[in-house]
Amino acid sequence: MNTKPIVWTIAGSDSGGGAGLQADMKAFEAFDVHGCSAVSAITAQNSRAVQQVQAVAPELLDAQLQALSEDLPPAAIKCGMLGSAANVRVVARWIKRMRERAPVALVLDPVWRASTGADLSGAELREVYRRELLPLADVITPNRAEAAWLLGTEMAVPQSAIALQALGARTVLITGGDSGGEQSRDWLHSPQAQGWLSLPRIATPHNHGTGCVFASSLAAALAHGFCAADAAVLAKMATTEALRRGYAAGVGAGPVRPHAGFALRPENLPTLWSDLRSDLRFATLSEPDMGLYAIADSAAWIARLLAAGVRTLQLRIKDATTPDLREQIARSIAAAREADAQLFINDHWALALELGACGVHLGQEDLAMADLQAIADAGLRLGISTHSLWEVARARALNPSYIACGPIHATQTKNMPWRPQGESNLAYWCRVLAEPVVAIAGMDVERAGAALQCGARGVAVLSGLSQAADPDAAVAEYQRALRLAAERPRRASPPWPRPTC
């Protein structure tokens, strides 16, 4: 029995082999899904030009979808060029019909003009597309020109995304590969996150099929169970790698070439931020091999853990109304400074800044409220919590001192909406990230050692110390386990992380 997710492409056939469903099937292979194709249009084209486009009869498209639905029902569908308003109606009817039986993710790549220059639009097609297909979309991936075509007017990119979402698309990703500049920036507007997905532009003339690969990669990631924002990050990574591997096939622009190892290449991981700034950079750790990273809720606990030999700590007092909060932070900073230890203040960045802490640890929800520029200018270190691909991309935009990945294991310390990442995801992040990685959540002694074998530079522990009958002995036990783990072979990384949101 097939265990791979099934993904359909409903798109035009490129006789030159560079774009359309030919590109989609290559992207599906890179994502290890079983790809199926329904031809909606046939093109006569080569690397220089599209010479003719002919939409297939709606009856033939309907027959293809009927045959596939009987034996190979999809987890996700990518729609490219559909060729006619009648074919748009056929696809919309099938999406509704299949969703009566099971969830089906739909990614729309609204092809308006081919990269070789052919005009594939039409007024009737646009209106039917907007009215019947767009409201069914989980994700739509137009470039800027295609977004303007759908909306009937040009707007700033973020406003275009909002307008397209108002037409029914749950997630809008306006690609920027056609906009020029040193950075390739795509605007993501999803339920999970909004902002620019950014990577240095790959300078290559061989970019035929870029939009097709992006949309089909996103559909494949959705089929694997990733949320829209995470799927967008993976699609960006896959498309960037495909551009790196583009090659000349004819006289004109050659095709991009998807490759299964796209997610293991660190330089393919984008950043995500709400504006175009990318100049923040935080001080590096004085000791990047943190080992045991103890989390405590009082200055007294900080002092005790320092006395037990811990040299990387976090003061985590969640209640901002604690009467002696300032005193607790000041005492903790003084004790850590005297012991030459690294102390991070959780959340309370303003007091940490005022009192001269070594660093600050912030959750994703705190990033928009903190004065990140002031923290960086003061030379404080910054650690950021992450739980998924898109959160890692957002953390990387700030060039933090370390990135905390979690929850690695289920924990009772705090309620989290995220699925545990597990050691396989931890091994992946330690492979891909240049920043030191801290493993957090559910860390008993055995798991702490396993986390170090995954490549973690620090292992965050709270209840394993605070609830220990003998905290001093517990510190020694953790440190011994970490020393032994450092001598063992490192755990191999999977090709990409498991979904967590």
What does DSSP say about strands 271-273 and 194-200: parallel, antiparallel, or unpaired? antiparallel
Q: In terms of domains, do 248 and 345 share one?
A: no
Model confidence over 262-282: pLDDT tens digits?
A: 999 999 999 999 875 668 999
Q: Residue 439 belongs to what H/E stretch?
A: strand 437-440
Q: In terms of domains, do 217 and 312 share one?
A: no
Model confidence over 128-139: pLDDT tens digits?
A: 999 999 999 999
Say how many CA atoms lie within 13 Å of 282 toward its Cβ. Answer: 27
Asked whether the predicted pLDDT for residue 64 surpasses 80, the reply is yes
Residue 492 lies in a domain: no
pLDDT at 500: 95
**Closest C-alpha to 234, from 206, 199, 200:** 199
The CA-based angle 168-169-171, given to 5 degrees, is: 145
Whether residue 212 contacts residue 24, with contact meaning beta carbons closer than 8 Å, is answered with: yes
Q: In terms of domains, do 264 and 336 share one?
A: no
The domain that holds 152 is classified in CATH as 3.40.1190.20
Asked whether the predicted pLDDT for residue 116 surpasses 70, the reply is no
Residue 92 lies in a domain: yes
Whether residue 85 contacts residue 124, with contact meaning beta carbons closer than 8 Å, is answered with: yes
Beta strands in 118-266 (DSSP E): 139-140, 171-174, 183-189, 194-200
pLDDT at 156: 95
Residue with tokens 């606990």: 301
AA identity, residue 184? S
Total domains, the chain: 2
Asked whether the predicted pLDDT for residue 174 surpasses 70, the reply is yes
Asked whether the predicted pLDDT for residue 120 surpasses 80, the reply is no
Confidence of residue 121 (pLDDT cuts 50, 70, 90): low
Q: In terms of domains, do 187 and 53 share one?
A: yes
pLDDT at 117: 45
Handedness of CA 344, 345, 349, 354 (dihedral sign): negative
Per the structure, the complete domain to which residue 87 belongs is given by 6-273
Residue 285 lies in a domain: no
Last residue of a domain, one of 243, 273, 303: 273
Q: In terms of domains, do 379 and 237 share one?
A: no
Confidence of residue 319 (pLDDT cuts 50, 70, 90): confident
Q: In terms of domains, do 242 and 300 share one?
A: no
Q: In terms of domains, do 264 and 314 share one?
A: no
Q: In terms of domains, do 21 and 144 share one?
A: yes
Residue 189 lies in a domain: yes
Q: In terms of domains, do 305 and 404 share one?
A: yes
Alpha-carbon distance 272 to 266, whole Å? 15
The domain that holds 409 is classified in CATH as 3.20.20.70
Model confidence over 448-474: pLDDT tens digits?
A: 999 999 999 999 999 999 999 999 999
Confidence of residue 499 (pLDDT cuts 50, 70, 90): very high
At 106, is the secondary structure helix, strand, or coil?
A: strand
Residue 286 lies in a domain: no
Q: In terms of domains, do 184 and 249 share one?
A: yes
**Average pLDDT of the residues in 324-337:** 97
pLDDT at 277: 62
Alpha-carbon distance 11 to 24, whole Å? 9
At 122, is the secondary structure helix, strand, or coil?
A: coil
AA identity, residue 133? L
Residue 280 lies in a domain: no
pLDDT at 414: 64
Residue 499 lies in a domain: no
Q: In terms of domains, do 106 and 248 share one?
A: yes
Q: In terms of domains, do 441 and 404 share one?
A: yes
Residue 297 lies in a domain: yes
The CA-based angle 196-199-204, given to 5 degrees, is: 130
**Closest C-alpha to 445, from 493, 482, 409, 393:** 482
Confidence of residue 399 (pLDDT cuts 50, 70, 90): very high
**Closest C-alpha to 39, from 52, 18, 24:** 24
Say how many CA atoms lie within 13 Å of 188 toward its Cβ. Answer: 30
Alpha-carbon distance 236 to 425, whole Å? 19
Alpha-carbon distance 383 to 370, whole Å? 13
